[in-house]
Structure 1
Amino acid sequence: MAEEAHVLVLDIFNRFDLEIKAGRSGIKNKITVSDIKRPGIELAGFWEHFYPERINLIGTTELSFLRGLDENVFIERIDEYVSYDPVCIIVARGEEIPKYLLKRAEDKGIPILSTKITTTRFSSMLLNYLEEKLAPLTVIHGVLVDIYGIGVLIKGESGIGKSETAIELVKRGHRLVADDIIEIKKIGELRLSGSAPENARYFLEMRGIGIINVKTLFGAGAVKHDSPINLAVRLEKWVEGYDYERLGLDDHKTEIMGLEIDEIVIPVKPGRNLALVLEVAAMNYRMKTMGYNAAVDFTENIMKK
């Protein structure tokens, strides 16, 4: 069974160059959720929906509230706070941390880190980092290529020509992301990102030749570590008499990890320049995202005539 995705408090410490104030023994605590908690209402005494597995972010507001409490109430709230064993506490703006909180965190092994960045800004940075690192992941077969900044996922049955098309695209100045095995992460609720497994990164299989290293052969500019997945292209053998899309008025979608992305079907037959077709598909997709649809424009021109 695969281990649950996680990052360590140590990873956060290193990534954002934080200062550790207490609880160094908990620096290898595992963080498994991307949500962040600002424990304002909890410090006011309401603990019903407190989730200690979330990183706790404390700013000026929370500390001002704590400093205004009666000493006995303050001690009671801190004791209850640390009793839940929050995975990590980060204090923003370089604020001075109450000594009693530092002492109790040290006793319990709860890491308290400090940053000089403002609370809102750091919250945004941390959330983006955690969503990327802890994003749900799936593995699919295909080829992922960056064409004019558009992440194009090439699908199709074995031997249809996916890898050969990718190499031709690389020769035309585009970048290979992954061949054969693609690890796809769902980042947030609206974005898919694809990359190659670390042990297969930049390698590509060509039948009759074998495994090649695209980075070694074509240079660092021919590869890319990861890419958003914007468009899916399914290659399939040309069937004579089949009514393939001619105008492009109908939008087709494919679903990956609960998200729908645009998909087009490209029929394959000898002599067809697939790399050129995919370049045009990527450029046409970009024009659609900018609000221009050539098929609709063409149809409207015909209707006007």
Structure 2
Amino acid sequence: MANYDKVLVLDIFNRFDLEIKAGRSGIKREITVSDIKRPGIELAGFWKHFVPERANLIGRTEMSFLRALEADLLKKRIDEYVAYNPVCIIVARGEKIPDYLLKRADESGIPVLLTNISTTRFSSMLLNYLEEKLAPVRVIHGVLVDIYGIGVLIRGESGIGKSETAIELVKRGHRLVADDIIEIKKIGELRLAGSAPENSRYFLEMRGIGIINVKTLFGAGAVKNESPINLTIKLERWDENNEYERLGIDTRKTTIMDLDIDEIIIPVKPGRNLALVLEVAAMNYRMKSMGYNAAVDFTENIMRR
């Protein structure tokens, strides 16, 4: 089930070192959507599709428009704006804010914040921050490791050897992200990131030994707090009746939070070095991402001959 982190205006204030100009009483207002609103057309009098739940960002263009209005019309527009109760107002480029807007925002408890960063740059920074913080989260079982910079999600039935494979990978210089319980965030529309819950971070369960702290045993370089999920490895017990992939031409996908992720099924039997197999899988995935597919190259060589 998906859930979301909570973002307060105070979090944005602290994260970007902003200056508060008015509405300090509303500094703990909660922001629930990652979209940002540039209220240009609204300040011109069109309020039909205004969404007050979005953080409002005002730049030089909007401020120039407001300063050009006659005093009575300026007050009317600001009164309309404040009546819609935007969750917060952030003014970019250090622009001078009309005194009447500060007065009305103070009365209504609407935080007005100021930054010297340009509007476009701050918009990008704020959007990235909110998308990450408010990304939908799903909890799944498995092991997540970083292999050569590739986030590999290992899945399979209980007792098949996921944690033991992760430890072997750590010994070979790779990094553990999460064991057993993985919190997956969908960031934007194209990216998944996984991490361990705060209370189980760096811990791993090995049957027969118990719980170990990977960071304590192997050092800080053996763990990672978060990783993108690029590739899924499904471990299953070797079945002689199954025909497993031999060439790797066909690409298999699995769906996580409506995103298709490359998946490889690895058959498990005694004596097979799973850590080595996963290393090769990660390197091969990286080569495919760079445009080289060994299976296609092999097939073309055969066809040429």
> TM-score scaled to structure 1, two decimals?
0.99
Q: Cα deviations across residues 81-130 of structure 1 (Å, max 9, x unaligned)?
A: 00111000000001111100000000110000000000000000000000
Greater mean alpha carbon deviation, residues 246-255 or residues 3-12: 3-12
Written as runs of structure 1 = structure 2, the 5 A alignment for 1:6-45 is 6-45=6-45
Match of 1:209 in 2: 209
Match of 2:236 in 1: 236
Match of 1:246 in 2: 246
Report the Cα offset of residue 70 of structure 1.
1.2
Match of 2:114 in 1: 114
Report the Cα offset of residue 6 of structure 1.
2.1
Partner Cα distance (1:144, 1:83) in 2: 48
Secondary structure at 1:232 match in 2:
strand
Question: Are the aligned partners of 2:147 and 2:282 in contact in 1 as well (CA < 8 Å)?
Answer: yes
Match of 2:48 in 1: 48
Report the Cα offset of residue 12 of structure 1.
0.2
Partner Cα distance (1:70, 1:200) in 2: 60
Task: Name the amino acid aligned to 2:291.
Answer: G
Secondary structure at 1:227 match in 2:
strand
Match of 1:196 in 2: 196
Partner Cα distance (1:255, 1:248) in 2: 19
Partner Cα distance (1:188, 1:296) in 2: 32
Task: Name the amino acid aligned to 2:127.
Answer: L
Residue segments in structure 1 that go unaligned for 5+ positions in a row: none
Partner Cα distance (1:2, 1:190) in 2: 17
Match of 2:71 in 1: 71
Secondary structure at 2:240 match in 1:
coil
Secondary structure at 1:95 match in 2:
coil
Query: What RMSD in Å do the two structures reach over aligned CA positions?
Result: 1.1
Partner Cα distance (1:30, 1:241) in 2: 56
Match of 2:283 in 1: 283
Match of 2:171 in 1: 171
- What's the % identity of the aligned pairs? 82
Partner Cα distance (1:192, 1:200) in 2: 20
Match of 2:95 in 1: 95
Match of 2:226 in 1: 226
Match of 2:133 in 1: 133
Task: Name the amino acid aligned to 1:122.
Answer: F
Partner Cα distance (1:251, 1:240) in 2: 22
Count of aligned pairs: 305
Secondary structure at 1:267 match in 2:
strand
Partner Cα distance (1:213, 1:61) in 2: 54
> TM-score scaled to structure 2, two decimals?
0.99
